């Protein structure tokens, strides 16, 4: 291969676009929890209510967990450009989420232990005092959850905004390339239709693959739909490869009989009789929604959501215990609450642990990368795919090829994978 070297620097900031907004929301909830904690501890001490003091101390555990989340946001933001972090600070949120999950698991164990102990050694319950405190705790947690979740998309954002690429090669038959971009909005193939005018008639051509193999769909924008026999579609891909598609009639549209192979990046020529029109399809591949999930915010939301859920269970248990004399309801709902918290903690530990260990975050995306590289007869010899931060993935690919293509050529092939914020391509020459 020719010795062709190009290089352009780029940053390694792999944070969500709403990073600072999430940080501000977390601090707001911390102040709310801290104010409630002080009010309960001071009020309980002045009026001799040990239950109020205990709830204030319990509130302090949530304030501490949220403080961890806020500090993780701040540290990641302050050190986003620190060269000591080779792949940026995007994983600080996952580290904080993992730590919070461990704390949640410990809280679940303590609640479960105390609930089981109370089964065998019941304690007297002051319903007049306990119910208002549980109700107040529920209100605070609901307000906190609304603040934290306000405007949060729960991870449905996918990295697919336009970016830039650069690469550098060596005279040893291999090269490297990088692609860097930022998160944007989501869309689906079946939403990506194109208007094309053929012989004066306006038509809409799209690719539909919602749970079915991908096929063309052609519909009339206005006027009558032509017969299926009168319509043909031909795709023209890079390098001049062509494929013809025949159409079949469906309910209000025409659908191609043949499936559309990956990748969906080509010029489609639609012919109706002697008239024709062309449409350019540029596919943007998206990673799974969990790739864009902010696990730091997720951990903070889980902390207040679990406390809200436990508050509801406690209120129900106290009401039933007071109405029917079922003293066992109090420890029973404690066990249920412990199981709920443990379940959410386990899910958070599993997801954040996988990210911290650099497990492949999206197997479907990894397969799509392989299919794209090997579509023209090249071999993807090695692939490493990992998460750099919410909505950002890193990938290292090793390609064996006899085509003479370089790193920049494979960067262009993979440009449609917009969640790849840091892409390194190594190319090795292979005899034909």
Q: How many CA atoms lie within 13 A of 284 on its CB side?
A: 18
- Same domain? For 36 and 140 the reply is yes
- Same domain? For 196 and 172 the reply is no
Within a domain: 315: yes
Choose one of 356, 382, 412: the last residue of a domain: 356
CATH code (residue 35): 1.20.1510.10
Tell whether the model's pLDDT for residue 89 goes beyond 70: yes
Tell whether the model's pLDDT for residue 47 goes beyond 50: yes
The reported pTM is 0.62
- Same domain? For 297 and 230 the reply is no
Helices H, strands E: what count in the chain?
8, 13
Within a domain: 235: yes
- Please write the tens of the pLDDT for every residue from 370-388: 988 888 888 999 999 999 9
Range of the domain at 59: 19-157+292-356
**56's tokens:** 């204030």
Count of structural domains, the chain: 3
Choose one of 310, 327, 356: the last residue of a domain: 356
Choose one of 339, 356, 373: the last residue of a domain: 356
- Same domain? For 209 and 173 the reply is no
- Please write the tens of the pLDDT for every residue from 345-368: 899 999 999 999 999 888 888 988
Question: What are the residue ranges of helices labelled H in 169-230?
Answer: none
Within a domain: 12: no
Q: Report the percent of the chain where pLDDT is more than 70.
A: 77
Residue 320 CB burial class (10 angstroms; 0-12, 13-18, ≥19): middle
- Please write the tens of the pLDDT for every residue from 278-300: 988 876 555 555 676 888 888 88
Tell whether the model's pLDDT for residue 339 goes beyond 80: yes
- Same domain? For 352 and 327 the reply is yes
Within a domain: 92: yes
- Same domain? For 152 and 170 the reply is no
- Per the CB < 8 A criterion, the answer to whether 260 and 207 are in contact is yes
- Please write the tens of the pLDDT for every residue from 299-332: 888 878 877 777 777 777 777 777 777 777 767 8
Q: Where does the pLDDT of residue 419 fall: very low under 50, low under 70, confident under 90, or very high at 90 and above?
A: confident
- Same domain? For 23 and 119 the reply is yes
Report pLDDT for 163.
Answer: 32
- Measured in residues, the chain has a length of 432
Prior bond to 263 cis, omega within 30? yes
Report pLDDT for 16.
Answer: 66
Report the run of H or E that residue 409 belongs to, with start and end.
helix 407-413
**Rounded distance, CA 52 to CA 215, Å?**
63
CATH code (residue 172): 3.30.70
Within a domain: 107: yes
398 or 212, which is more confident? 398
């Amino acid at each position: 291969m020719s010795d062709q070297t190009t290089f352009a620097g780029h940053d390694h900031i792999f944070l969500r676009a709403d990073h600072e907004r999430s940080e501000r929301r977390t601090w707001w909830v911390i102040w709310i929890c801290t104010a409630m904690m002080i009010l309960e501890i001071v009020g309980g001490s002045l009026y001799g209510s040990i239950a109020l003091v205990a709830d204030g101390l319990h509130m302090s555990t949530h304030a501490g967990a949220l403080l961890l989340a806020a500090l993780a946001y701040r540290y990641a933001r302050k050190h986003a450009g620190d060269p000591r972090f080779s792949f940026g600070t995007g994983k600080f949120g996952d580290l904080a989420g993992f730590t919070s999950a461990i704390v949640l698991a410990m809280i679940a164990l303590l609640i479960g232990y105390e609930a089981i102990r109370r089964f065998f050694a019941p304690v007297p319950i002051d319903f007049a005092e306990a119910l208002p405190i549980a109700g107040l705790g529920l209100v605070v947690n609901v307000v906190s959850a609304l603040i934290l979740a306000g405007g949060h998309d729960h991870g449905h954002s996918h990295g697919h905004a336009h970016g830039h690429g650069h690469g550098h090669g060596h005279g040893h038959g291999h090269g490297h390339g990088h692609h860097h971009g930022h998160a944007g909005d989501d869309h689906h193939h079946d939403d990506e239709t194109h208007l094309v005018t053929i012989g004066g008639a306006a038509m809409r051509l799209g690719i539909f693959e919602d749970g079915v193999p991908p096929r063309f769909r052609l519909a009339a924008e206005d006027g009558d739909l032509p017969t299926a026999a009168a319509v043909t579609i031909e795709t023209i891909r890079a390098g001049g490869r062509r494929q013809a598609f025949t159409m079949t009639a469906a309910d209000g549209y025409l659908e191609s009989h043949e499936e559309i192979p990956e990748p969906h990046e080509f010029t489609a020529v639609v012919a109706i009789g002697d008239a024709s029109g062309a449409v350019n399809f540029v596919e943007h591949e998206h990673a799974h929604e969990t790739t864009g999930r902010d696990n730091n915010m997720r951990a903070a939301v889980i902390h207040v959501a679990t406390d809200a859920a436990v508050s509801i269970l406690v209120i129900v248990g106290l009401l039933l215990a007071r109405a029917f004399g079922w003293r066992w309801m109090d420890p029973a709902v404690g066990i249920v609450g412990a199981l709920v918290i443990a379940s959410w903690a386990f899910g958070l530990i599993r997801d954040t642990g996988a990210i911290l260990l650099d497990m492949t975050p999206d197997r479907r995306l990894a397969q799509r990368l392989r299919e794209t590289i090997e579509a023209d007869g090249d071999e993807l010899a090695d692939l490493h795919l990992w998460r750099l931060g919410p909505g950002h993935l890193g990938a290292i690919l090793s390609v064996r090829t006899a085509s003479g293509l370089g790193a920049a050529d494979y960067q262009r092939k993979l440009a449609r994978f917009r969640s790849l914020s840091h892409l390194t391509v190594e190319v090795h020459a292979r005899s034909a």
